[in-house]
Amino acid sequence: MQQQLKILFVGDASNFHFCLAGALRQLGHNVTLVSDGGQWMDTERDINLSRGAGRIGTIKYVIDILKLLPKLRGYDIVHIISPIFFVQLRLDHSRHVFDYLKKHNRYIFLSATTTDYYYVKACLDGKTFRYSDYRIGEKPSPYALSQEAEPLELWNTHLRKWYSEYTTKHLDGVVACLYEYYKSYENIVPRRQLAYGGIPIDTKSVKPRLITKTPDKIKFFLGRKSNRIIMKGSDLLLDALRRTCDRYPKLCEMQVVENVPYKDYVELLSSAHVNLDQLYSYTPATNALLGMAMGIIAVSGAEPEYYDFIGEHQCRPIINVSPVVEKDIDDKLAWIVEHRDVLPTLSLQSREFVEKHNDSIIVARRHLEFWSNIMSPDKK
C-alpha cells in the first residue's frame, strides 16, 4: 500500500483539481482544494477564496489570503493550477505566495492546464504546432487579431515573462493535462520533471446516456464562455452549425448556452447527441470529454499527433475539425447528419475512450507515479 500523502491543490480550472482531488481521496490520500470556484462556473472546493468588488473587496481578499497562508503548510505535494494561480492577485504579490508555498511544503508542482507564457510562446514559434489559438500556419489567428485577445505584448512584458520563468525555475515538476501543454514545456523543464496526466473525468458519477438507435433528429449542443468565443472558435462553429440546421431542418436542431454554472451546464449537455467544443485544439478538453463520458459525440480537436501521443490506434471516435481546411466544419457536420446510423457506434466508442484514457482514477495514478519518481532519491 502506498504511503498516504497530504496534498494541496491551489486554484482550479473547469473542475480539474476538484475531480482529481476526489480520485486521490478514493486512493487513500488527504487532499485540500483552495479555489474561487472559477467565478461564475462556481465549481466545488474545500476552501473558498474569492475576491469581492471594489477597493473593500480587494482589501478583504488580501486579508483572507494572509489569514489562510498558515493553513497551507506541511503538505507533501502542492499543485498550482497555473503560474498565475490566484488570478485576481497582482503578480508581484503572487510571487510572495508562491515562495511561501515553496518554503513551507515538501514539493511544489504545476498543473499545466491553461494559457500561460510558455504555451503562447509555443503557439507563436511557428514550429511546435501547425495551428493554435494564436496562429494558423504563417498567419495570425482570428483570436490574435480580435479585441477579445490579450495583447501578445502583454505575454512578453518583463513582469509576466519574468514571473513565469521564475515560477517554472523553482518548480519540482510539471504535469500537463493536454498534449499541447506537454509540448509547450517539453524544452523548458528537464524531461524527468515533465509528465502527461490528462484531464480527469469521474466516469463512475457520469451516467451514460448512450445513443442506442439512429436518431430521427440530431440534437447538436454548443456551450461557450463569453470571454473565449473567438479564442475557442465557437463563433465559427456556431456559424457552421446554423448553416447545417438550415440545410437539414428536419434532421437536426441545436441548443447554444453561454456562461452557465457547471452543474446546470452538465444537465443541459446530457440531452444532446453531438457536442461542439473547440476548433483550434489538437486534443479534446474537459467539455468534450465530459460529454463523451455520457456517450455524446464530440466535434473537437483530435489530430493524429494526439492519438499517437497517448498510444491510441484503434478507438478514435472524436470528429476532428481543422481551421486550416476550407469548409471543414460544414463538411464534418453534414457528414454527421447524412450518416446518422454511425452515431450509436461512435457513442459507445466515446464512452470507452474516456474510461480508458481519462477516468479520474487513471489520471490520479499517473500523478502518483510521477510524484513517486520525483520523491525517490534513487531515481534522481
**Residues 224, 284 within the same domain:** yes
Minimum mean pLDDT among 46-55, 72-81, 316-325: which range?
Answer: 46-55
Q: What is the pLDDT of residue 378?
A: 58
Q: How far is CA 280 from CA 57, 284, 329, in A?
A: 36, 10, 12
Average pLDDT over residues 340-351: 98
Q: What is the pLDDT of residue 374?
A: 96
Q: What is the pLDDT of residue 152?
A: 65
Q: What is the pLDDT of residue 377?
A: 64
Q: What is the pLDDT of residue 132?
A: 95
Output the domain CATH number for residue 280: 3.40.50.2000
Average pLDDT over residues 177-197: 97
CB atoms within 10 A of CB 163: 19
- pLDDT tens for 284-295 read 999 999 999 999
Q: What is the pLDDT of residue 350?
A: 98
Task: Please check the confidence at residue 1 and state whether its pLDDT lies above 70.
Answer: no
Question: CB under 8 Å to 310, separation ≥6 — which residues?
Answer: 179, 196, 198, 357
Exposed, middle or buried, 5 (CB in 10 Å: 0-12/13-18/19+)? buried
Cα(27)–Cα(21) distance, rounded to whole angstroms? 10
**Residues 175, 232 within the same domain:** no
**Residues 55, 153 within the same domain:** yes
Cα(193)–Cα(201) distance, rounded to whole angstroms? 24
Q: b vs e for 286-321, b when ≥16 Cβ sit within 10 Å of the residue's Cβ?
A: bbbbbbbbbbbbbbbbbbeebbebeeeeeeebbbbb
Task: Give the three-state DSSP class for 7.
Answer: strand
Residues 13/176, Cβ–Cβ less than 8 Å: no
**Residues 93, 123 within the same domain:** yes
Q: Which residue range forms the structural domain that includes residue 278?
A: 218-357
**Residues 142, 76 within the same domain:** yes
Task: Please check the confidence at residue 380 and state whether its pLDDT lies above 50.
Answer: no
Average pLDDT over residues 193-222: 96
Could you identify the residue written with the cell 489530430? Answer: 303
Could you identify the residue written with the cell 482529481? Answer: 20
**Residues 163, 256 within the same domain:** no
Identify the CA nearest to 86 among candidates 76, 98, 74, 68: 98
In a domain, residue 256? The reply is: yes
Question: CB under 8 Å to 321, separation ≥6 — which residues?
Answer: 237, 279, 299, 300, 301, 328, 329, 332
- pLDDT tens for 266-278 read 899 999 999 999 9
Q: What average pLDDT does the chain have? A: 92
Task: Please check the confidence at residue 38 and state whether its pLDDT lies above 80.
Answer: no
Task: Please check the confidence at residue 317 and state whether its pLDDT lies above 50.
Answer: yes
Average pLDDT over residues 309-332: 96
